[in-house]
Structure 1
Amino acid sequence: MIIISNVLVAYFSASGVTKNVAEKIANENGYDVFEIVPEEFYIVADLDYTNKDSRSTIEMNDKSFRPPIVETCDVSGYDTVVIGFPVWWYKAPAIINTFIESVDLSGKTIKAFYTSGGSGIDKCVSDLQATYSGLDFAKGTRFTRDVSKAKDWIEG
């Protein structure tokens, strides 16, 4: 990955919604982008939150589980790392922990955005802050199709 900005937008997307938003934010503002890709892709049945035996439910119920990712990236050249994800069970998906633990985010400003129809991000960010108390998480926000305020939020 060639660094062209001081902002990295890293994202995980199970259904494509977060991918579309993350790429739009990066493209419209000249930020670098990195997709957090699971070694095993999630299929629709994996994402069924009503099924206690679905893959995502099992992962979210095990606080120590870290789904393997295909690759990680070097974040050393970035001041700000924006992490995008869908909200699962009022939390960041477990794969976000995998990513955070695969890179050195110390000294970076970390901003989380989410794509969700109804859940908020405050619990997600407070959980991440509690788990990674040495990192600097800023207030998170929600984006849908309209990312016109992304630059102000990220750089402000």
Structure 2
Amino acid sequence: MKKLVVYFSASGITRQRAEELAAAVHADLEEIKPAVSYTPEDLDWRNKQSRSSLEMTNESSRPEILNQKRDLSAYDTIYIGFPIWWGVAPRVVNTYMEMNDLAGKDIMIFATSGGSPIGYALDHMKKTYPELHFVGGKRLSGPVTEDIL
């Protein structure tokens, strides 16, 4: 059973958790890379005109990513990680999910957040992608150990 940890990180925190998770579960690692990196100004959630605010208030927004479509047939389990934005995954994560075939995979989401729980983000994923098999989700607020997921 091969595993893949896929993640988007805007500030480096999710990257750190993804690297720890990949090591703990003996998984390959892939970063979701936006075509245009997010600047601190883009991430200013208090500014209704910031890039992240505009993307997150538009449910159909799918920011371009540098990743190419990937053959995921060798993987049984895919962990998808992201910082929680507006209670859910950043739209750039949706771009990755929609360009790759995740059917038949066990999908576990993980997220980083200063305080938002994972439940709403997981429910939103299940609602957005009802054809996929989500096996759970976890907010990673500290170092990852083998028994965490």
Query: What SS does the aligned partner of 1:44 have?
Result: coil
Amino acid at match of 1:56: S
Count matched residues.
148
- Letter of the 1:109 partner, please give it: D
- Residue 32 (1) aligns with residue 21 (2): no
The yes-or-no answer on 1:85 pairing with 2:88 is: no
Q: Which amino acid aligns with 1:119?
A: S
Residues 74-131 of structure 1: CA deviation (Å, up to 9, x unaligned): 2111000000000000011001110110110100010000010100111111111111
Identical-pair percentage: 45
1:152 and 2:147 matched: yes
2:109 is aligned to 112
Is structure 2 residue 48 aligned with structure 1 residue 52? yes
Larger % of helix: which?
Answer: 1
- Any idea what the Cα deviations from partners look like across 1:28-67, whole Å, max 9, x if unmatched? 3321000000000000000011000000000000111101
Normalised to the residue count of structure 2, the TM-score between the two structures is: 0.94
Alignment of 1:61-140 (within 5 A): 61-72=57-68, 73-140=70-137
Distance (whole Å) between structure 2 residues aligned to residue 44 and residue 11 of structure 1: 19
Question: 4+ residue stretches of structure 1 with deviation over 6 A?
Answer: none
Once residues 44 and 52 of structure 2 are traced to their aligned partners in structure 1, the CA distance between those partners, rounded to angstroms, is: 7
Name whichever structure is richer in strand by fraction.
2
Unaligned runs of 5+ residues in structure 1 are none
TM-score, scaled relative to structure 1: 0.90
